[in-house]
Every structure is written in C-alpha cells, then in structure tokens.
A and B are shown apart, each in its own frame.
Chain A
Amino acid sequence: GDSVTQTEGLVTLTEGLPVMLNCTYQTIYSNPFLFWYVQHLNESPRLLLKSFTDNKRTEHQGFHATLHKSSSSFHLQKSSAQLSDSALYYCALSETSSGQKLVFGQGTILKVYL
C-alpha cells in the first residue's frame, strides 16, 4: 500500500536558520497529491500546503515545497525559522482517484530556539 516516510522525528534549530523537513513517499499511482499539515501545541492539525504538480514550487505562510516525482519527495522548507514555527509537521499523501483517503507520515517535531 501507499506509505509516507518522514525520517526525522525531531528537528531542533536556532531562530533565523533555514528549515528543511524531509518527506518521501511510495505509491502505485502516477498522480498523487501531497500535503503538509501543521499542528501547534494543544491545537488540531491544519493544512499548510498541498501540491500535485511535478516540479512546481508551492508556497504558503513563508513555507514552500516542491513535488519531485522522480525522487518521490515533497520536502518542506523555509528560509528563516521563527519561534512560532515550533510545531508538529505531518506530510501526507492522497491518491488522485479517490481524493479522500490520506496516508500520513509519522510526523516531525520542529523546535525553534532563540
């Protein structure tokens, strides 16, 4: 079945440094949709950004990601981390045909320090 892998369970960095959270996926479908959800402490997950277009950069709230089908990746990046970015980040995959079942990665906790 489909799967999503987030290799880092915890990423810690100093405010102002660049952020990169890794996400790779496996699917038999040629046109998957990829998502990043963010969950701040004591809140519920909310959509950060999504993409289904190969090699096209998607941006939202200072974060960006590019779907690369050749490497099955959808890494999340930000040029300069802020304290408020500290949260749990989930990468997720959906099949184009159903568009209704999301497969989530294990999640990466991002902690930003002064």
Chain B
Amino acid sequence: GGIITQTPKFLIGQEGQKLTLKCQQNFNHDTMYWYRQDSGKGLRLIYYSITENDLQKGDLSEGYDASREKKSSFSLTVTSAQKNEMAVFLCASSILTDNQDTQYFGPGTRLLVL
C-alpha cells in the first residue's frame, strides 16, 4: 500500500498572492496530477506529469504553474490568487494496471482567498 499526502490541508491567502501547494506520494507511481474541484463542475485537470521534470498542461492550466522536482513530489503554484476564490485542489498519482491507469487521490488542500 501507499499514501498521498498534501500540504497544507487548509490555505488562506490574500488577493494577488502567490500560493504553493505540495503533494507527496510513496506509491512509486510514475504519473502525478493536480485537479481543481468546484461544486457542480466536477474535477478539472490543471497539470499532470508522467515522470520527473515532465509537465503537461491540463484544461485549466492558466493561472497556475507546476513543478515535478522528483518522482515522489509534485507542486502546484497559484500565480496570483483571485479574491473570494474558494476551491479544493486534489493531487493524484497513477500506475498502469490492466493497460489502463488507475488514479489514487490525496486528501486535498482547501483554498480560500480573502
């Protein structure tokens, strides 16, 4: 078994602030993902990475940067927090099983911008 940890669990920021969210996994998975979860909008992919130092943009990458420093960690930066923004950011990782990746999710970081 393994675990995905996300830090911080809660993040309160100011408008215009640069905010960084961190994710660690000990599954030894190759691929890692960042999703944004908003009520009624499902999970939207921000960035993903198929290996260390690789970055692939998702549908929601504008306004975000990401960094895959090593295989076990994947960071997401909100480049300029928007006032009254409230969302949950979910990190996930995956390994190829049955010719299809199964994604495992972390507990999430809850963001509130004042």
Contacts and interface: CB of A to CB of B under 8 A. Distances in A.
Contact of B100 (A9, A90, A99, A106): A99
Contacts of A105: 42
Task: Determine chain A's interface SS by DSSP, over half rule.
Answer: loop
Contacts of B105: 44-46
Interface residues of B, number: 25
Task: Determine chain B's interface SS by DSSP, over half rule.
Answer: strand
B41 A106 contact: yes
Interface stretch (B11-19, B43-51, B65-73, B75-83): B43-51
Interface string A14-45: 00000000000000000001000000000111
A1 to B, nearest CB: 8
Interface string B82-98: 00000000100010100
Contacts of B103: 47, 102
Contacts of B90: 44-45
B102 interface: yes
B45 A101 contact: yes
Contacts of A101: 45, 48, 58
A44 B107 contact: yes
Interface in A91-114: 92, 94, 96, 99-107
Interface residues of A, number: 25
A52 interface: yes
Contact of A102 (B41, B45, B106, B108): B45
A100 B50 contact: yes
A99 B103 CA distance: 10
Contact of B102 (A1, A50, A104): A50
Given A46-B105, A47-B104, A106-B41, 14 more contacts: A1-B59, A44-B90, A45-B43, A50-B100, A50-B102, A92-B43, A99-B99, A100-B50, A100-B101, A101-B45, A101-B48, A102-B103, A104-B42, A107-B40
Interface of B: 31, 35, 40-45, 48, 50, 58-59, 90, 94, 96, 99-108
22 contacts: A4-B42, A6-B42, A9-B40, A43-B107, A44-B105, A46-B104, A46-B105, A47-B103, A47-B104, A50-B100, A90-B43, A99-B101, A100-B48, A100-B101, A101-B45, A101-B48, A102-B103, A103-B45, A104-B43, A105-B42, A107-B40, A107-B42
